[in-house]
Amino acid sequence: MKRIVLFSGGSACRSINVALCQNGADVTRVVPAWDSGGSSKVIRERLAILSVGDIRQALMTMAHGEGCAGDVVKICNARLSANLGREEARNEFLFYAEGRHPLLERMEPGLHGAILNYLNTFASSVGREFDFRHGSIGNFILTGACLAHNGDVNTAIFVFRKLCGIRGNVWPSSCDNDLVLSARLNDGRSLMPQDVITSMVPEDARIGIAEVELARADRSPAVANPAVLDAIANADLIAFGPGSLYTSILPHLLVNGLVPAIENASCPVVFIGNILQCRETMGLTLEDVLSAANLHGRKGGGNADLFVSVLANRMLFPFEKTIGKFPYLRENLQEDAGTAIFRGEFEDAWSRGQHDGDATVAVLLKIAAGGASDA
């Protein structure tokens, strides 16, 4: 059983996570701790705790990959209606928090009691006027567990995994609850926080991002999660990507202590190239992306280029081709640049622009075993 540590964002690596689980790997997902948007934003601002949205999403992906489909997983994957009034949404929340949902009613008392305890801890903490609309029940449970365990997100994740029967690990790269991500554009202007960078206007996307910075609200460095350092030390392979380059992938490298830990790990370190360009990488090639990754690795304390292996999707068109609004990410990597390039047709035949999890994982596991060659 290969121990794979996957630094990622949200949905972009879902198929890879699922395929790793289905191929018997021992998977640790490392997710961002600086999310400032989405439905988690309201919770983070209200309670001054770490945003749990990416954590919960990764846990649900892990559950899917492991074939966990029990009642607890179904409850944790539920989301409240978005088109109701505030009071109606609160009443829908209480349908869960008071144990009246049929899936909760048929659970054994220990599970039933734990979930209701965390939901009611959350409700009492956010107050009567909290807007529950479109909220994730899993986010509410995970946040309630974090509050119930004195703000210890690692303990909350451990409890959540046990409730759902999930074997794999999901950790934020830092447990700091006040991290702020900022980006410096190529024209010198700055954007912050994460959700502003993610939704930058097309004009800014064309200008492009030069680098990102990650720090706590008081400007002190982000502190590495000890659970992540343990996973790195015991890994058979460490992979970064796919995902949004500057908001989901590269900031991990700026968490204090992570890059030196990766350099000290006696295993391959792989960069998984995206299939398509995105708003954060308009006009870039995979060579440009890899250069940015190695730059941020050095910013994070690295002594040399961190990524000496890269998975590159084989481009099948001699002309620019787009899926939706974005073109394919061209490779432009040089064989003599000291990088081991593993080329393959990694695009999913049914979900264009997304990775084929099985094809990607087949190469990752070969690299972990020391026997991979050009795909």
Domain boundaries along the sequence of the chain: 34-172, 223-369
pLDDT for residue 375 is more than 50: no
Lowest mean pLDDT segment, chosen from 153-162, 219-228, 326-335? 326-335
Per-residue model confidence as pLDDT tens digits over 333-373? 877 667 899 999 999 999 999 999 999 999 999 999 986 55
Instruction: Tell me phi and psi for residue 217, to 5 degrees.
Output: -60, -30
Q: How far apart are CA 81 and CA 83, in angstroms?
A: 6
Residues forming beta bridges with residue 256, ordered by sequence position = 223
Characterise 248 by phi-psi region: left (phi > 0), alpha (psi -120 to 50), beta (else).
Answer: alpha
Average pLDDT over residues 245-268: 96
pLDDT for residue 374 is more than 60: no
CATH class, 223-369 region: alpha beta
**pLDDT for the residue 373:** 53
**pLDDT for the residue 69:** 86
**pLDDT for the residue 299:** 96
Q: How far apart are CA 291 and CA 365, in angstroms?
A: 25
**pLDDT for the residue 290:** 95
pLDDT for residue 222 is more than 60: yes
The model carries a pTM of 0.95
Lowest mean pLDDT segment, chosen from 32-41, 52-61, 142-151? 32-41
**pLDDT for the residue 308:** 84
- pLDDT classification of 38: cutoffs 50, 70, 90: confident
pLDDT for residue 51 is more than 90: no
